[in-house]
A and B are shown apart, each in its own frame.
Chain A
Amino acid sequence: MIKQDENISGICTPAIGEAGKTGDWSDVKPAIDHSKCTPAVKGKAACFLCWLYCPEGVVHMTIPVQIDLDYCKGCGICAEECPPNAITMVRKEDMNE
């Protein structure tokens, strides 16, 4: 039997997807060309302007840079800010080849 919420006021605990996955809010997603992206090219922590500008905090400061598409709302700010133009916004259905 499914467990029911006994709370008498609105309460939720932090968990992935608790407030719904916001990744499905748009039809475009950022795609990174790692042959242009600075950390990948230099092989060290550098640039990360996409991480700095992302209003949703879905960009991970990794080498190579990764974006959590489950939560990315597809606003395109990272693509706009990327100095070497390594990020392009692509339609979702074109994404997985």
Chain B
Amino acid sequence: MSEIRIITGNEAAALAVTLCEPKVVAAYPITPQTKISELLSMYVETGTLKAEYVRVESEHSALTVLISASTVGARVFTATSSNGLLYMHEQLHWAAGSRLPIVMCCVNRGVGAPWSIFNDQQDSMSQRDTGWIQLYCRDNQEIIDTVIQAYRIAEQVYIPTMVCYDGFVLSHTMMPVEIPEAAQVKNFLPPYRPHTFLDPERPRTINPVFFPWRRENAEGVLCDGYMEMRYKLQRDFDTSLEVIEDVNVQYTDLFGRNYGGLIWEYQTGDADIFVTGMGSIAQEATLAVDALREEGIKIGVVGIRSFRPFPKEKLIHAFSRARIIIVFQKAISYGNEGGLSTEVKAALYGSGIDAPVHDYIAGLGGRDVKTRELIAAIRDTLERSGGGDCKNKTTWLNCHRG
């Protein structure tokens, strides 16, 4: 029998990790992630989790330790937030390029300067091009289930995977969570089989210098150049689109909870107005949709669960009847607009869908985003030339602009 407990997002993540039985955990505490490191170190001390917990002096070292451990065949885990993630930046690329299925929780927090310990998604979104899969969660149940799924996905396509969830909003809020049974998780998650690993019996060099050209090695094998290696990573990201969907289906069969795979939809059946976003803000938007539907507005939410790989085809299908699309996001790509808006627009290019995409920046540095504020913003969008006019306009929700 699985058990329901009332726990925070961080506790959910730590429990999920324990169920996945990593062999090495290395993490450096940073608010609001700290509780995960504390819990995992406690589980290791008490023997609940049979793993090596490596105490490191920085996030950069935390990920470096995991890269090494993963290279010798261990399942591994780390978690971080904000500037801690940015400090890992170089090693994020290294982990992805080495095709190591590392799983990390990014407990989303605004990035300094100026300092903030509060939630937004600037940290993970600014790591978009590091070659990591990024999955965003709406509530604590999704956190525990997504961490377990993340190992399956990562180990199938050999791409490191980041499970992102909103700091404090989810990490520190308790809610009922069904804890999957250990035996079922074992059943769902086969042991990690590395694509290659360092072994003294078969000496090898990992990640030597790669040249722009392909070359024959000393044994006459035609080896990739740098560009072929990059292509293989991108090719496997394409595969990961299917894998994320398959893993979700299998998870649903076993555990009875369905997260939609790459995207999820709420009240989209007859909708022609769509709200989209990632994480808890998209969940909050479902309440705005409930309220607006009472007024007869045909509106729904398309929640983006996978930011990388970006589910272009899925979105084209979901938005096929869209008249207006409104993107709420907790990050900004300076000098342009909200990064998620750019992605949505790019996905629709050439698809025949010409719905205006309205760009909203919300909730930066922990600014509260209330349902009524989302409702007001949606209403305002619809009133503005019937929602048709959005050229070069980014709206900062609930922000004083003097």
Which A residues are closer than 8 A to B by beta carbons? 2-5, 7-19
Residues A12 and B223 in contact, CB atoms below 8 Å apart: yes
Stretch at the interface among B30-38, B210-218, B334-342, B346-354: B210-218
Question: If the complex has contacts A2-B216, A18-B217, A19-B208, are A9 and B97 also in contact, measured as CB distance less than 8 A?
Answer: yes
Taking CB atoms and an 8 Å cut-off, the chain B residues in 194-249 that contact chain A are 195-196, 202-210, 216-224, 229, 232-233, 236
Q: Does B99 sit at the interface, judged by CB under 8 A?
A: yes
Is there an interface contact between A13 and B219, defined as CB atoms closer than 8 Å? yes
A73 to chain B, nearest CB (A): 16
5 extra interface residue pairs, beta carbon distance < 8 Å, beyond A10-B98, A12-B204:
A3-B221, A5-B223, A9-B195, A13-B205, A18-B218
Which of A8, A9, A12 is close to B217, meaning CB atoms less than 8 Å apart? Answer: A12
Q: Mark B100-125, 1 if CB is under 8 A from A, else 0.
A: 00000000000000000000000000
| Given contacts A9-B97, A9-B207, A16 and B229 within 8 Å (CB-CB) | no
Q: Which 8 A-B pairs have the closest CB atoms?
A: A15-B218, A5-B223, A9-B99, A10-B207, A18-B218, A3-B221, A8-B99, A9-B98
Task: Please measure, in the bound complex, the distance between the C-alpha atom of A11 and the C-alpha atom of B158, giving whole angstroms.
Answer: 15
Cα A3 to Cα B216 in complex, Å, equals 9
Residues of B within 8 A of A11 (CB): 196, 204-207
Given contacts A7-B196, A8-B195, A9-B99, are A14 and B205 in contact (CB under 8 A)?
yes
> Binary interface profile of B, 33-70, with partner A (CB < 8 Å = 1, else 0)?
00000000000000000000000000000000000000
In angstroms, Cα B203 to Cα A12, docked, is 9
Q: List chain A residues, Cβ under 8 A from B209.
A: 19
CB distance from A68 to the nearest CB of B (A): 15
Whether B208 and A10, one on each chain, are in contact in the complex, defined by CB atoms closer than 8 angstroms, is yes
> Can you list 9 residue pairs at the A/B interface with Cβ under 8 Å?
A2-B216, A8-B232, A8-B236, A12-B204, A12-B208, A12-B217, A15-B217, A18-B217, A19-B209
Known contacts: A9-B196, A10-B210. The answer to whether A3 contacts B232 by CB under 8 A is: no
A interface, by DSSP: helix, strand, loop or mixed?
loop
Residue of A nearest to B195 (CB): A8
- Which residue of A3, A7, A12, A19 is within 8 Å of B220 (Cβ)? A3
B221 touches A4 (CB 8 A): yes
Q: Given A10-B207, A10-B210, A5–B224 Cβ distance below 8 Å?
A: yes
When distances are taken between beta carbons in the complex, the residues of chain A under 8 Å from B217 are: 5, 12-13, 15, 18
On chain A, the residues within 8 Å of B203 by CB distance are 13-14
**Closest chain B residue to A19 by CB distance?**
B208
Residues of B within 8 A of A15 (CB): 217-219
In the bound assembly, the distance between CA atoms of A4 and B222 in angstroms comes to: 5
Nearest-neighbor residue (CB-CB) of B206 within chain A: A11
Contact A5 B222 (CB under 8 A): yes
Q: Are B236 and A2 in touch, CB under 8 angstroms?
A: no
CB-based nearest B residue for A5: B223
Task: Check A12 against B205 for contact (C-beta < 8 Å).
Answer: yes
- Which chain A residue has the least Cβ–Cβ distance from B216? A2
Q: Chain B CB within 10 Å — which of A4, A8, A16 has the most?
A: A8
Residues of B within 8 Å of A14, CB to CB, are 203-205
Indicate whether A10 sits within 8 Å of B196 (C-beta atoms), given known contacts A5-B221, A5-B223: no
